[in-house]
Amino acid sequence: MPIHPRRRLALCALLTAEAMNLLDATVVQVAAPLMRAQLGGPVTAVPWLTSAYTLPFAVLLLTGGRLGDRFGRRRIFRTGVTAFLLASLVCACAPALGVLIAVRAVQGAAAALIVPQTIGLIKAMFPGDETARALGAIGPVMGLAAVTGPVLGGLLTHADLLGSSWRAVFLVNLPLSLAVLALAPLLPEDRAPRRPGLDPVGGALAATAAGLLVLPLLDGSRWPLTAAGAALALAFAAHQRHAARRGADTLVEPSLFRSARFPAALLALALAFAVTTGLTLVVVLQLQLVSGADALSCGLTLLPMSAGLAAGSLWAGGQLVRRYGARVMPAGLAVLAVGLLATAAAYRTGERSGSLPYALAVVGLGQGLFTPAFFGTALRPLRPQETGSAAGLLNAVQQLGATVGVALLGRVYLASPDAAGAQRACWAAVAALAAVAAATRWMTAPGPAGAAQSDGRTSDHQEATHAR
C-alpha cells in the first residue's frame, strides 16, 4: 500500500532535517582552508571548524532524545530547527574565525535536538509495514549525507553566489530549515508514555568526559586531560549503574551493556566513521595547501567516494545483507582497506597521476557495503525498550567518531603537511580499520543472547528493510 501523501511530506521534512544536520558535519571541510585564509587564524584551527560542530552534536544527542521523550518530540524538533536556522545565519555573517567556531558549536547543539526525534516521530506516524519502509530511508540518508557534504561544500564555495564565497555553505541551510518548519505542522506530537527524567548529572559527566577525551587530539599540549576524561567516563558508567539499581532515570538503557556485544558495536562504528571522515579532511588539506586546488576541484575529487558509497549502500541494502547477513561487514572492511592502501599509494606516486579518485571510489564502496550490514546486525537483537536508547547511542558515537577522526588524522597530517604526511594519515586509518574488524568480530561472536548476531541475516521484511 502506498504511503499517504500527508505522511510522505512529513517524512520528507524529517529526512531533510536529518540530512541537513549530518551534511553540516562535513560540508565545511572543503571550504575550511578558505575560511581560515579569509578570517585569519593558524592552520591548526582548520580541524576545529568541523570538530566544534560534531563534538556538541555527539555529546548532547542523548540529552536531546530525553528532551523529546519528556516535552514532546515535535516541539523539540521545531525548537532545534529554529535554533539551527538562526545559528546558520550567524555563521554566514561571522566576522572572525573565533566567532565562527563558537557558533558552529551552537549549530551542533541544535542538531542534537533535531536528530534524536526522527525515529520516534516516524514510529508515531506510520502504521504496520509502513514503519519499516520509512525507517529504511534513514540509513541511506545518513551515509550519503556524511560523504556528499564535501562535494556540496566545494560546489557552493566555487559558485560564489552573489559574492558569498564560503558563506553559501551556511546560507543554504536557511531555505531548507524554512521548508522543514513549514511542513512541521504535519508531524504528530509524540512523547514517551512515562515522562522520563533528564539525568542532568549523567549528561554532564558524559559531555565533559567526551570533551576531555577529544581535546588532546586537537591540542597536543593538553594530554593530561585524557586521564581526567577517562576517569569521568568511568564515573559516568558507575553513575548509570547506581541510578539503575535505585530505579532512577538513566541517560542510557543499562541493559544494552549486559554483554560486550553492543559496546563492541559502538567502538566499531566510532572508528569506522573516524577513518572515513578523517580521510576526507586529509584529502582536502593536501589538495588545497600543497597542490593549490580550489574548492570545486576538491569537491570533484571526492565525488567518486560519494558515488562509491551510494553504489555500495544500494547493493548491500538491496541484496547482500538479505542473503549474507553480518558476513557483509568484513567484506566491506576488506574493500575499504584496499581503498586506503590505494590512497596511500596514490600519494606516494603523486596525486597528479590520476589514481587518487579511483582509490577514493574504492574507499566509498567499502563504507557503503559495511554500513547497512553494520546497522542491521547491531540493531537486530535489541528489545523494543532498548531501540531508542541504542539509536541515540549509535548516532552519538558516529558523530564522536567523526570528531576523533578529524582531530587525529588531521593532526597526523598537519605534523608534516605534504604527501608523506598524507601517507602517514592513511596508514593510521588502516590501523584504526584493523580495530574496527576486531570489534565487529566481537559483536558477532556466538553466545547466549547473541546467536542471532552470529549470522545476522534478516528473517523478515521489516529487518531487511531497516538494514537498508
Regarding whether 204 and 317 lie in a shared domain, the answer is no
CB-based burial label for 54 (10 Å; 0-12, 13-18, 19+)? buried
| Stretch 324-337: mean pLDDT | 93
Task: Identify the residue with better confidence: 366 or 197.
Answer: 366
* Structure confidence by residue, pLDDT tens digits, 30-39: 888 889 989 9
CA atoms of 75 and 98, how far apart (whole Å): 31
Lowest mean pLDDT among 101-115, 229-243, 352-366, 376-390: 376-390
DSSP string for 348-366? HH-GGGS-HHHHHHHHHHH
CA atoms of 150 and 30, how far apart (whole Å): 5
Asked if residue 468 has pLDDT above 60, the reply is no
Regarding whether 273 and 355 lie in a shared domain, the answer is yes
Question: If we measure between CA atoms, which residue out of 140, 150, 278 comes closest to residue 214?
Answer: 278
Regarding whether 108 and 137 lie in a shared domain, the answer is yes
Regarding whether 262 and 119 lie in a shared domain, the answer is yes
Asked if residue 200 has pLDDT above 90, the reply is no
Q: What is the CATH number of the domain that holds 134?
A: 1.20.1250.20
CA atoms of 434 and 275, how far apart (whole Å): 11
User: 141 by DSSP, 3-state: which?
Assistant: helix
Asked if 139 and 367 touch (Cβ cutoff 8 Å), the reply is no
Question: What nine digits make up the cell of 246?
Answer: 535505585
Lowest mean pLDDT among 207-216, 265-274, 319-328, 360-369: 207-216
Residue 193 lies in a domain: no
Question: If we measure between CA atoms, which residue out of 339, 391, 388 comes closest to residue 368?
Answer: 339
CA atoms of 210 and 9, how far apart (whole Å): 36
* Structure confidence by residue, pLDDT tens digits, 382-435: 776 676 677 778 878 888 888 889 888 988 998 888 999 999 999 999 999 999
Regarding whether 278 and 222 lie in a shared domain, the answer is no
Report which listed range, 61-65, 267-271, 379-383, is most confident.
Answer: 267-271
**Number of domains, the chain:** 2
Regarding whether 454 and 332 lie in a shared domain, the answer is yes
**Exposure of 361 in the CB half-sphere (CA atoms within 13 A):** 11
Report which listed range, 55-69, 93-107, 188-202, 408-422, is most confident.
Answer: 93-107
Regarding whether 22 and 62 lie in a shared domain, the answer is yes
* Structure confidence by residue, pLDDT tens digits, 81-135: 999 999 999 999 999 999 999 999 999 999 999 988 887 788 788 776 667 667 6
Residue 154 lies in a domain: yes
CA atoms of 78 and 82, how far apart (whole Å): 6
Express as a percent the part of the chain with pLDDT over 90.
31
| Stretch 261-268: mean pLDDT | 90
Asked if residue 366 has pLDDT above 60, the reply is yes
Residue 287 lies in a domain: yes
Asked if 189 and 121 touch (Cβ cutoff 8 Å), the reply is no
Helical H runs in 72-198?
A: 73-92, 97-114, 117-125, 129-135, 138-159, 168-171, 173-183
User: 126 lies in which domain range?
Assistant: 5-187+251-467
**Exposure of 15 in the CB half-sphere (CA atoms within 13 A):** 17
Q: How far is CA 429 from CA 22, 227, 337, 373, in A?
A: 22, 24, 9, 21
* Structure confidence by residue, pLDDT tens digits, 3-17: 667 888 998 899 999
Regarding whether 409 and 272 lie in a shared domain, the answer is yes
Asked if 94 and 446 touch (Cβ cutoff 8 Å), the reply is no
Residue 194 lies in a domain: no
Regarding whether 311 and 268 lie in a shared domain, the answer is yes
Lowest mean pLDDT among 105-119, 197-211, 319-333: 197-211
pTM score, two decimals? 0.77
CA atoms of 375 and 149, how far apart (whole Å): 21
CA atoms of 199 and 204, how far apart (whole Å): 9
Residue 195 lies in a domain: no
How does the average pLDDT of the chain come out, rounded?
83
Task: Identify the residue with better confidence: 218 or 426.
Answer: 426
Regarding whether 269 and 211 lie in a shared domain, the answer is no
Regarding whether 113 and 210 lie in a shared domain, the answer is no
Asked if 317 and 445 touch (Cβ cutoff 8 Å), the reply is no
Q: How far is CA 297 from CA 306, 324, 421, in A?
A: 15, 38, 21
Torsion over CA: 249, 250, 253, 259 (sign): negative
Question: What nine digits make up the cell of 221?
Answer: 599540549
Residue 356 lies in a domain: yes
Residue 240 lies in a domain: yes
| Stretch 40-54: mean pLDDT | 86
CA atoms of 94 and 88, how far apart (whole Å): 10
Express as a percent the part of the chain with pLDDT over 70.
87
pLDDT band at 136 (very low <50, low <70, confident <90, very high): low
Residue 256 lies in a domain: yes
* SS3 per-residue string spanning 277-315: HHHHHHHHHHHHHHCCCCHHHHHHHHHHHHHHHHHHHHH
| Stretch 204-223: mean pLDDT | 77
| Dihedral, 133, 137, 140, 146 alpha carbons, nearest 10 | -150
Regarding whether 171 and 294 lie in a shared domain, the answer is yes
